[in-house]
Amino acid sequence: MIAWQPLRRIGGFAHLLWLWLAFISAQEGVTYFVIAPFGAGDTATFVEAAGWPGWVTIPLCLAGVAGMFATAALFATCVVRHCSGEITAMRAMAWYPWLLSIPFVLATGFLYTALAAMRLTAGEFVIVMLAGLSMTVFAPMAFIFVRRTRPAPSPSRYHRCRWRASSATPSCWW
C-alpha cells in the first residue's frame, strides 16, 4: 500500500488517510516480528508451530526493529514532500495525529481485551497494549529522518497545513 498510491494525483484528505493506513499496516507487520521473543503474535505462533528453536525469534525481533526504522524513514519522505520541510506543517501531519491516536488506541485496546473470549495474563495484556501503541510509532520516529530528506521538487496537491490555535486542530485535516 505504501508503494501503490492511487490517490496521490488527486491529493486531499483521502490520500492522507491512504498514507496513514498504509504505514499503519506496514508497522503492524514489523511489530509482529518485534514481539515474537515474548511468545506473542502470529510470528511467535508460526515459530512454535514449525518447531523452530526459540532463539530464532531474536533475529526476527532485530529485523522488526530495523523494519520500524525503515518504515519511519519512508514516512519521513512523505511528510517532507507534503509539508515542504516546514516544521509546523510536519507536526500537523505526523506528530499531532500520533498524539491524538494514543487515547483512542488505548481505549480500543482495553475494550478489545475486556470483550475477548480468551483471558489474558497481565504480561500478555501489557504486550497487547504495547503492540497496539506501536502501530503508529513510525510517525514520531519519522522526525529522526526529516533533516536527511529533501523536499520534493514538485509541490504536493495539499493546501498548506497551518495550526489553528483557536480550534487546536491542523487546518489541513479539515
Task: Read off the pLDDT of each residue in 7-34 and give the average, rounded to a whole number.
Answer: 82
Return d(Cα 40, Cα 52) in angstroms, integer.
15
Contact 7, 20 (CB under 8 A): no
**Over the stretch 120-162, which tens digit does the pLDDT of each residue have?**
788 878 877 888 888 889 999 999 998 887 766 554 555 445 5
Q: Indicate if the pLDDT at residue 164 is higher than 90.
A: no
pLDDT by residue (tens digit) across 61-106?
A: 999 999 999 999 999 988 888 887 788 988 988 899 899 989 998 8
Kindly list the domain boundaries of the chain, sorted by start residue: 12-147
